[in-house]
A and B are shown apart, each in its own frame.
Chain A
Amino acid sequence: MKKFLMATAATALVGGAAYADNHETIKIGTILGYTGPIESLTPHMADGAELAMEEVSASGLLLGGMKVESVRADSTCVDSAAATAAAEKLITSDGVKGLMGPDCSGVTGAVLANVALPNGIVMISPSATSPGLSTAEDNGLFFRTAPSDARQSAIMAEILRENGAESVAVTYTNNDYGKGMADAFKAAFEAAGGTVTIVTAHEDGKADYTAEVGALASAGGDVLVVAGYVDQGGAGIVRGALDTGAFDTFHFPDGMIGSNLEANFGEEIEGSSGQVPGSDSPGNAAFVEMVGDKFDVTSPFTGESYDAAALLLLAMQAAGSAEPGDYASKVEMVANAPGEQIFPGELAKGLQILADGGEIDYVGATAVEFVDGGEAAGSYRQIKIEGGKMVTVQYR
């Protein structure tokens, strides 16, 4: 047995060394939760990322004809220890040059602190949205293509101030999403010069919301912000507030935007506003067309995954090196203006421009734009209720 183990270890070492010497391929770690709570989403996300890698390999333009290989590893979404071990293995034994992932916010933070920072590896998460990651120590190595929930709160504060709201009352659904949104919004709105009269939680699926509506009404405000779910307690709160005449204009973040909002309230909430993630960029349509029926493109975060992988490779091209230390500083440069806009399916064009010493502005499937050191700006569709229908005001 001992001999067998020794032999295995030796083979692995030789294998690892052989791969490390192989300068024909660049490896990218695709670390996502293939098991765990989001296991139904991750295969499509990985397919999205690998689509970008294949596209780059096929072009033959990356760093003078390098191929790209994806090495999958399981982040489990919830088990930080397992995710850290998987990422460690990717870097030390597989020799990946960058991480596409991880997916969930918790494991992303763990991998960043325990693996990416000590090893100096670049990671781009396609789906971690926790505001907490904005302030995490990252030495410029961490990026994300999905916008932080804090971004939405900032956008929300902006819209409300522009609509002339001076004071607002806030109620949120009592979970991480609602609480995070409410706290971030309160800070953003007060920084913008508004007043938040009350921030109060509501539980979903409860029998009666009289007490919540009473407290909100007593605190008062121009607008009631409902950071909840349209098929849950959020609807109960809006119904109660309308019936008692406590509020008649509301503001709805993404959890409240749905067809049931029109169906249940319609003209009663005339003049209310809201926002949902969405963009009018032609990138998404191009991505959908390119994917065809290769995988389920409507599954969440597939576009973000494609963009994350594409950005890693484009940054390498811009730096002229696959070493994380060299290309980390280029990620933001290829993603943002100025430069030629690059849409999905045009990676070859982007690589060529960069090889010729030009500049690109990668738009991708999700209109990527990095702000504040690696945060996706995210784009949102601002809506208002007009004639009982949701109408798009603008994209921002």
Chain B
Amino acid sequence: MDFLNAIVALSNFVLIPAMAYGSQLALGALGVTLIYGILRFSNFAHGDSMAFGAMVTILITWWFQSMGVSIDPLPTALLALPFGIVGTALMLLATDRVVYRFYRRVKAKPIIFVMASMGVMFIMNGVVRFIIGPDDQRFADGARFIINARDFKEWSGLDEGLAFKTSQGLTIVTAVIVVAALFWFLNKTRTGKSMRAFSDNEDLALLSGINPERVVMITWIIVAGLITIAGVLYGLDKSFKPFTYFQLLLPIFASAIVGGLGNPLGAIAGGFVIAFSEVTVTYAWKKVATYLLPESLEPSSLVQLLSTDYKFAVSFVILIVVLLFKPTGLFKGQSV
């Protein structure tokens, strides 16, 4: 019984939330890594593009909700998601046309692209705040829980509750589907293969007749899909607030770099490494230890490795260690 309680407590506070957070980071990091692989720069506007995608989806969700359209028990936002992706794709293609295409034509250095993307970031920042405001927005509806902590306690007779939110379930399932679809696309389709070729060696790709502008366009569309999905899932799971999306940029970049920039598999692994390390290193193991250890060994302290104040330090320490020993990331990516 104690063993079961320990497992449930651990799943409730560590495994499930970290899985969901990891999936959100992985989807974000995939976008960063695709842009790095194909357009060859670190896109600082990523977090705010994510906020833009979520914002378009929220506006359409509200419209659907006002018309009474719903897919209960699933959140209406899922229905609005395709429209959000289209809106975001149009916006990303427009910024590419207005900003990045010029720098591609003049063959600007990557650092200039990065600076340009910072400019885009600030503009996007302003646009999102201008349209939807800087405040928290609520758009989640449908059933909130797949498993409710209180119901679980009654059903199982355990001391510990287990909560599994609909948004967490959706996040994990969607992430698996999206990642599978992306890998299928990159490995099996002609367009996907041409993207990989372009990423591996631009000159050879051009020689073999691949149209660079088409590759760039498809990259932006895929990225639009990834960030809108990540942004909406994150908003459903926590809350939508433009400023937190900007803050999300740091863990997303950390994930992409730890995994190896330009390597999609690495982005996913990186997302989970960052999420799990943030949660487990700062977790107070007292509860779990109390269940598992015999009474005489029960800890009186919290058994916390680091105070939660340091959780951001944790991801950056991992980042530094990885860069010191494997500059290309855990999976073979490009060195930064």
Contact = CB atoms under 8 A, between A and B. Distances in A.
B174 interface: no
A203 B308 CA distance: 10
A246 B286 contact: no
Interface string B231-272: 000100011010110011001000000000000000000000
A384 B291 CA distance: 34
Interface stretch (A181-189, A216-224, A342-350): A216-224
Contacts, number: 104
Contacts of B234: 207
Contacts of A212: 308
B244 A207 contact: yes
A271 B17 CA distance: 27
Interface stretch (A87-95, A112-120, A141-149, A235-243): A235-243
A260 B307 CA distance: 29
Given A202-B308, A236-B238, A214 B244 contact: no
A213 B150 CA distance: 17
B292 interface: no
A215 interface: yes
B18 interface: yes
Given A206-B244, A231-B135, A236-B238, A214 B279 contact: yes
Q: Is the interface of B mostly helix, strand, loop or mixed?
A: helix
Instruction: Identify the interface centre among B148, B163, B284, B307: most chain A CB within 10 Å of its CB.
Output: B284
A207 B308 contact: no
A222 to B, nearest CB: 16
Given A239-B239, A245-B161, A213 B13 contact: yes
A315 interface: no
Contacts of A243: 149, 163, 165
A213 B309 CA distance: 12
B12 interface: yes
A246 B13 contact: yes
Contacts of A211: 278-279, 282-283, 308, 311
A218 B287 contact: yes
A201 B163 contact: no
B308 A245 contact: no
A244 interface: yes
Interface in A175-203: 198, 200-203
Contacts of B14: 210, 214
Interface residues of B, number: 43
Contact of A245 (B18, B150, B241): B150
Interface string B147-178: 01110010000000101010000000000000
Interface in A79-128: none
A208 interface: yes
A70 to B, nearest CB: 40
Interface string B95-121: 000000000000000000000000000
Given A218-B284, A235-B136, A207 B251 contact: yes
A251 B109 CA distance: 54
Contacts of B149: 243-245
Nearest to B311: A211
A198 B275 CA distance: 23
Interface in B2-49: 9, 12-14, 17-18, 21
B286 A219 contact: yes
A296 B9 CA distance: 53
B64 interface: no
Instruction: Identify the interface centre among B13, B17, B163, B234: most chain A CB within 10 Å of its CB.
Output: B13
Nearest to B249: A207
Nearest to B149: A245
A236 B163 contact: no
Nearest to A199: B307
30 contacts: A198-B302, A205-B243, A207-B234, A207-B248, A207-B251, A208-B21, A208-B238, A210-B14, A210-B18, A211-B279, A211-B308, A211-B311, A212-B308, A213-B13, A213-B17, A214-B17, A214-B279, A214-B282, A215-B282, A217-B13, A217-B287, A218-B9, A220-B287, A244-B12, A244-B161, A245-B148, A245-B149, A245-B153, A246-B13, A264-B138
Interface of B: 9, 12-14, 17-18, 21, 135-136, 138, 148-150, 153, 161, 163, 165, 234, 238-239, 241, 243-244, 247-248, 251, 275, 278-279, 282-288, 302, 304, 307-309, 311-312
Given A198-B302, A210-B21, A211-B283, 5 more contacts: A207-B238, A207-B244, A210-B278, A211-B311, A243-B149
